[in-house]
A and B are shown apart, each in its own frame.
Chain A
């Protein structure tokens, strides 16, 4: 067998010397170009990169050329009879040829790359050849196998080359499909490693098909080798695909079984379901910006899974490879998902799933949304009744100015699209901060009216507009007139934080008084605008009121100031909000309004409650009272329990019943 190997190698050894020749040629060209055309360091790097690409391309071509003639030349020339008449089994003949081909490719590539790498070190550096070397090797291996396979079946070198190119292209598409669409994530590493693994996995079936065709097929006077080659190839790749998918499922199950912690817990508006991102162990590896590996500590999007938990049944309604942005519909039935692995934030990545039926309602935003003028999607949310989906887009072009932010309102299945422009960036030449007048018209917040009948928008300057969805009409509910005498010259009013009451009677606005030289938080007041258009009124002024929260029945409004800590409560019908007596040094972390109108306050150390009478005090149950040390308050679920999420160790989600004081484990 060694004699055959030697003969094969020597048959094509010219190719190897070609590698050296080409290497010298490239070095010479590089020297000439460097001297003649390169002026700046940037161009020098371009030249280095170009040489590097040339080397990689030539390596690829050399691989094909070296392996194309291995078998086809024998068949074409008729010397195959000689080979088969040797006292060697066919598999050995195949092996000798394959090894010789491999040796040719390796020695040719070495003679091509190493001299240039030594002479032009910039090449290696620019392309990070050292980093990508394993990828190059693996793709060269695939190219070699594919060409070997085609060489076994075809007679003329040119047909072999064409067939190999076609087959390589097809396999490339296959790899892209497996990794991209099927989302094969075998390793916890990044895409490149998954791609490399898939490529490596399909090399054995290709080689096996070639071996079987040669060893078992009829090579002389008939074409029965195809009957061995093609089924083996297709079957082999199918088997490999199944194994890979199986490995993925295993990895997935492995990771899912070891949920270390969860984050990003969000409760559906009516508390029927909750979404969160679960992080499995071990933590995945990621490549840093200086091209090293390290264990991901935070938000690498590998091996994170988005879980939708149905709180009624306690089961996972859906698990997805993690994405950027999700929103559960209020009844917990639909899940809108934004951001895909390769689509990023584009409108193409929008998906809407029906959790009950486990099918997709919407895949990819409708055509209108995909126009470049609309821009990538930033946020997705639902209307209170779950009839409308709101997508926030931003098509800002920081380099050249222009563009706009807008919200798009549409049905979950993508129909009945309407766009509301929030803000248009001024033309180039005008800095946004200088264009005060335009700033005033910028919409800073928006909110739904109950029953999904209308959408309210609020500009910075305080103009409140109601958009009726039924007929698409927009009417201004209120806008401020010129400042009254209470305010002095040089002061501005900034309106923000619109919150519509759950009964739709009022719209609460947060107003900031900005005087020159003072910080924004100096004066804040809350303005209530009645929805029927009657005169708005303030319920609290001169305070640093920060957070507002309506009770679910719309009867009272809580205002929570953070510095200093204070709670004020206003009930519908009263003229002003009343202060709730509470210690001033508390630091509020989370708050929720219970269905009965009580306010639940979560600080860093303990849990407090403002009851129906407006009294502030710690929670009666001692177990729940101490929970904030380990758990955060997510919200109130549909049964009135407080949903809590912990960061370290199981259980990761708990529900606390405030009346009975019982704590139940929700997840895992």
Chain B
């Protein structure tokens, strides 16, 4: 992928809280025009990462560039061009939706009221309603509406889909996709809703314990991580090094590889052995790749 046109480019981004290392030398690249899914379990550092991009938190070391601006030095310029939605984000309960929208409108140079009202009316939110009367899904959509309302070039959704009902979730996705129709727009989604991410993301990154140990296009990920099933009537075959989730039965062995190629299959083939290649869904891929990271500690390997 072209590194010159990255909406987000971080270099060895590190953030320490006391003794805990929330981000460990993360070097991520989010190309312009992509929908990038940053996946990881709870506490992996996804929210910390997003907050570093917006300079809500200062990095301990390393650097990051968003839309060409350094996040620390030009943080105001960054925030002017970036929309941000955080999940379960408390809002000011006393405001009406209209007041909330006009408050946000006053803070940004560009504002498109039709976008905002369009999003809200689709989920049945009236402008005069108070925020405290909104359901959780409606709140998230309200946050999304004001985040999109100022026509950002980059949209950061931090666990925005977590805990939403299916209808609200679809609405969020729909609006996110709608954002992409304009040229040069980019979206970064973090969370654990791997099924939804699988639909719409074209780039993925895996974050565990602050380490970004995989980053590539979704297509490449699916092309390289496959599960192989080897039927062997007699004698367990040698499993290639780096194989994951190895399961053995009497006459069959299954394992996942992260460096699949036809040559690999050939190298495994032998008379009497039948090798079957199975594609994995994103969730299975993530689980298989993450397991060794959760068990061991060590430097991350970033595949790009």
Interface positions of A (Cβ within 8 A of B): 2-4, 6-7, 10-11, 77-79, 81-82, 84-89, 218-222
Is B54 a contact of A218 with CB atoms below 8 Å? no
Please report the C-alpha to C-alpha distance between residue A353 and residue B84 in the assembled complex, in whole angstroms. 71
Is B54 a contact of A84 with CB atoms below 8 Å? yes
Closest 7 CB pairs of A and B: A3-B106, A87-B80, A78-B90, A87-B79, A85-B84, A7-B103, A84-B56
Which residues from A are CB-within-8-Å of B77?
87
Please report the C-alpha to C-alpha distance between residue A218 and residue B104 in the assembled complex, in whole angstroms. 24
* Residue of B58, B84, B90 touching A77 (CB-CB under 8 A): B90
Is A86 a contact of B79 with CB atoms below 8 Å? yes
Please report the C-alpha to C-alpha distance between residue A318 and residue B57 in the assembled complex, in whole angstroms. 59
Does B86 sit at the interface, judged by CB under 8 A?
yes
Does B105 sit at the interface, judged by CB under 8 A?
yes
* Residue of B48, B76, B91 touching A221 (CB-CB under 8 A): B48
Which residues from B are CB-within-8-Å of A79?
89-92
Chain A CB within 10 A, most for which of B17, B51, B91, B92? B92
Within residues 66 to 112 of chain B, which ones have a CB less than 8 A from any CB in chain A?
75-77, 79-80, 84, 86, 89-92, 94-95, 99, 102-108
Is A82 a contact of B76 with CB atoms below 8 Å? no
Least CB distance from A17 to B in Å reads 14
**A-B contacts, 16 listed (Cβ < 8 Å):** A3-B105, A4-B103, A6-B106, A7-B92, A82-B89, A82-B91, A85-B84, A86-B107, A87-B108, A88-B76, A89-B76, A218-B57, A218-B58, A219-B56, A220-B57, A221-B51
Please report the C-alpha to C-alpha distance between residue A6 and residue B105 in the assembled complex, in whole angstroms. 13
A219 and chain B: residue at smallest CB distance: B56
Please report the C-alpha to C-alpha distance between residue A567 and residue B119 in the assembled complex, in whole angstroms. 114
- Given the interface pairs A4-B107, A84-B56, A87-B79, the reply to whether A221 lies near B17 with Cβ below 8 Å is yes
Which residues from A are CB-within-8-Å of B48?
221
Which residues from A are CB-within-8-Å of B84?
85
Is B89 a contact of A88 with CB atoms below 8 Å? no
Please report the C-alpha to C-alpha distance between residue A179 and residue B79 in the assembled complex, in whole angstroms. 48
Which residues from A are CB-within-8-Å of B90?
77-79
Please report the C-alpha to C-alpha distance between residue A89 and residue B73 in the assembled complex, in whole angstroms. 11
Least CB distance from A326 to B in Å reads 62
Known contacts A7-B92, A77-B92, A86-B107, then 15 further A-B pairs from the complex at CB < 8 Å, ordered by chain A residue: A2-B106, A4-B103, A4-B107, A6-B106, A7-B99, A11-B94, A78-B90, A81-B56, A81-B89, A86-B79, A87-B77, A87-B108, A220-B56, A221-B48, A221-B57
Which residues from B are CB-within-8-Å of A77?
90, 92
Least CB distance from A72 to B in Å reads 14
Please report the C-alpha to C-alpha distance between residue A11 and residue B95 in the assembled complex, in whole angstroms. 8
Least CB distance from B75 to A in Å reads 8
Which residues from A are CB-within-8-Å of B94?
11
Which residues from B are CB-within-8-Å of A11?
92, 94
Chain A CB within 10 A, most for which of B54, B86, B106? B106
Chain B CB within 10 A, most for which of A77, A82, A85? A85
Least CB distance from A328 to B in Å reads 66
Least CB distance from A576 to B in Å reads 101
Is B80 a contact of A78 with CB atoms below 8 Å? no
- Given the interface pairs A79-B90, A220-B51, A221-B17, the reply to whether A6 lies near B57 with Cβ below 8 Å is no
Which residues from B are CB-within-8-Å of A78?
89-90
Which residues from B are CB-within-8-Å of A81?
51, 56, 86, 89
* Residue of B17, B79, B91, B92 touching A85 (CB-CB under 8 A): B79
Interface positions of B (Cβ within 8 A of A): 17-18, 48, 51, 54, 56-58, 75-77, 79-80, 84, 86, 89-92, 94-95, 99, 102-108
Please report the C-alpha to C-alpha distance between residue A2 and residue B105 in the assembled complex, in whole angstroms. 11
Please report the C-alpha to C-alpha distance between residue A11 and residue B96 in the assembled complex, in whole angstroms. 12
Which residues from B are CB-within-8-Å of A7?
92, 95, 99, 103
Least CB distance from A215 to B in Å reads 12
Please report the C-alpha to C-alpha distance between residue A78 and residue B87 in the assembled complex, in whole angstroms. 12
Which residues from A are CB-within-8-Å of B80?
87
A77 and chain B: residue at smallest CB distance: B90
Least CB distance from B9 to A in Å reads 20
* Residue of A10, A88, A220, A222 touching B107 (CB-CB under 8 A): A88
B86 and chain A: residue at smallest CB distance: A81
Please report the C-alpha to C-alpha distance between residue A6 and residue B99 in the assembled complex, in whole angstroms. 10
Which residues from B are CB-within-8-Å of A219?
56
Please report the C-alpha to C-alpha distance between residue A6 and residue B103 in the assembled complex, in whole angstroms. 8
Is A3 a contact of B58 with CB atoms below 8 Å? no
Chain B CB within 10 A, most for which of A7, A89, A218? A7
Please report the C-alpha to C-alpha distance between residue A88 and residue B58 in the assembled complex, in whole angstroms. 16
Least CB distance from A194 to B in Å reads 43
Please report the C-alpha to C-alpha distance between residue A79 and residue B104 in the assembled complex, in whole angstroms. 13
Is B57 a contact of A85 with CB atoms below 8 Å? no
Please report the C-alpha to C-alpha distance between residue A222 and residue B58 in the assembled complex, in whole angstroms. 11
Chain A CB within 10 A, most for which of B48, B79, B99, B105? B79
A12 and chain B: residue at smallest CB distance: B94
Least CB distance from B148 to A in Å reads 14
Please report the C-alpha to C-alpha distance between residue A219 and residue B56 in the assembled complex, in whole angstroms. 8
Please report the C-alpha to C-alpha distance between residue A84 and residue B95 in the assembled complex, in whole angstroms. 18
Please report the C-alpha to C-alpha distance between residue A219 and residue B105 in the assembled complex, in whole angstroms. 25
Please report the C-alpha to C-alpha distance between residue A4 and residue B90 in the assembled complex, in whole angstroms. 17
Please report the C-alpha to C-alpha distance between residue A85 and residue B82 in the assembled complex, in whole angstroms. 9
Please report the C-alpha to C-alpha distance between residue A218 and residue B16 in the assembled complex, in whole angstroms. 12
Is A3 a contact of B86 with CB atoms below 8 Å? no
Which residues from A are CB-within-8-Å of B99?
7, 10
Which residues from A are CB-within-8-Å of B95?
7
Least CB distance from B83 to A in Å reads 9
B143 and chain A: residue at smallest CB distance: A82
Which residues from A are CB-within-8-Å of B89?
78-79, 81-82
* Residue of B57, B79, B91, B107 touching A3 (CB-CB under 8 A): B107
Least CB distance from B54 to A in Å reads 6
* Residue of B17, B75, B104 touching A222 (CB-CB under 8 A): B17
Please report the C-alpha to C-alpha distance between residue A481 and residue B298 in the assembled complex, in whole angstroms. 116
Which residues from B are CB-within-8-Å of A10?
99
Please report the C-alpha to C-alpha distance between residue A82 and residue B76 in the assembled complex, in whole angstroms. 14
Least CB distance from A155 to B in Å reads 13
B47 and chain A: residue at smallest CB distance: A221
Is B56 a contact of A85 with CB atoms below 8 Å? yes
Which residues from B are CB-within-8-Å of A84?
54, 56
Which residues from B are CB-within-8-Å of A89?
75-76
Please report the C-alpha to C-alpha distance between residue A77 and residue B103 in the assembled complex, in whole angstroms. 18
Which residues from A are CB-within-8-Å of B51?
81, 220-221
Please report the C-alpha to C-alpha distance between residue A403 and residue B108 in the assembled complex, in whole angstroms. 79
Which residues from B are CB-within-8-Å of A6?
103, 106
Is B56 a contact of A87 with CB atoms below 8 Å? no
Least CB distance from B32 to A in Å reads 20
Least CB distance from B111 to A in Å reads 11
Please report the C-alpha to C-alpha distance between residue A81 and residue B91 in the assembled complex, in whole angstroms. 10
Please report the C-alpha to C-alpha distance between residue A241 and residue B281 in the assembled complex, in whole angstroms. 69
Least CB distance from B130 to A in Å reads 13
Please report the C-alpha to C-alpha distance between residue A89 and residue B80 in the assembled complex, in whole angstroms. 11
Please report the C-alpha to C-alpha distance between residue A2 and residue B94 in the assembled complex, in whole angstroms. 19
Least CB distance from B86 to A in Å reads 6
Please report the C-alpha to C-alpha distance between residue A3 and residue B102 in the assembled complex, in whole angstroms. 8
Please report the C-alpha to C-alpha distance between residue A4 and residue B92 in the assembled complex, in whole angstroms. 13
